């Protein structure tokens, strides 16, 4: 039984994140999607909201569990018995970040390995931070997030959900 941990801020969950969780769920027996409670980012959604949106978005994946966590990712991975950490790569800058992080994490916890999934072509430009800006300015984000998430994002900005 191999468990993988997919950690992130998920503020909010996008179709790119769901794609990575779906593909990881095919490869591993169990995937624990973990919402980082205190990322060093300005958040639009609090932890409860991010957790609820992720749970709704992954409810069709029976071997995916959604939890929240704080503290060191590798320590949390060890605590839940995960052998791998899953991350998604969109670009060279994602790669550089993950590369540095992987070496730091290996130093902290040599038993936990990193598995990176290359983004699917359709989701290459989907970014949680950018789509919030787009939605705030009245742009259409419907193809970038699950429908429940689009509703939640527009409602944060006091805007109606856009058609199509």
Could you give the string, one character per residue 106-125, with x where binding to ligand ADP holds by CB under 6 A and - elsewhere? -------------x---x--
Could you give the string, one character per residue 12-31, with x where binding to ligand ADP holds by CB under 6 A and - elsewhere? --x-xx--x-----------
At a CB cut-off of 8 Å and minimum separation 6, what does 57 contact? 13, 17, 18, 146, 148, 149
Of residues 5, 8, 32, 77, which one binds ligand ADP by CB under 6 A?
8
Q: Can you count the helices (H) and strands (E) in the chain?
A: 6, 5
146 is a site residue for ligand ADP (CB under 6 A): no
Cβ proximity to ligand ADP, 41 vs 160, nearer residue: 41
Among the listed ranges 52-60, 68-76, 85-93, 106-114, the one in contact with ligand ADP (CB under 6 A) is: 85-93
Cβ proximity to ligand ADP, 30 vs 73, nearer residue: 73
Q: Is beta strand 30-36 parallel, antiparallel or unpaired with respect to 84-89?
A: unpaired
Among the listed ranges 4-12, 52-60, 74-82, 156-164, the one in contact with ligand ADP (CB under 6 A) is: 4-12
Q: Which CA distances in Å does 11 have to 43, 48, 50, 98, 112?
A: 6, 11, 6, 19, 25
10 is a site residue for ligand ADP (CB under 6 A): yes
Short-list 92, 77, 89, CA closest to 117: 89
């Amino acid at each position: 039984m191999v468990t993988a941990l997919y950690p992130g801020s998920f503020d909010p969950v996008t179709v790119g994140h769901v794609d990575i969780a779906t593909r990881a769920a095919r490869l591993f027996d169990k995937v624990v999607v973990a919402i980082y409670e205190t990322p060093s980012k300005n958040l639009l959604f609090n932890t409860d909201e991010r957790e609820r949106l992720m749970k709704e978005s992954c409810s069709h994946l029976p071997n995916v569990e959604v939890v929240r966590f704080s503290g060191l990712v590798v320590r949390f991975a060890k605590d839940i018995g995960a052998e791998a950490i899953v991350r998604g790569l969109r670009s060279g800058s994602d790669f550089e970040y993950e590369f540095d992080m992987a070496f730091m994490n290996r130093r902290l916890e040599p038993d936990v390995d990193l598995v990176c999934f290359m983004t699917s072509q359709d989701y290459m430009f989907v970014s949680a931070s950018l789509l919030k800006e787009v939605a705030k300015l009245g742009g259409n984000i419907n193809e970038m997030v699950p429908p429940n998430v689009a509703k939640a994002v527009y409602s944060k900005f006091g805007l109606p959900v856009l058609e199509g």
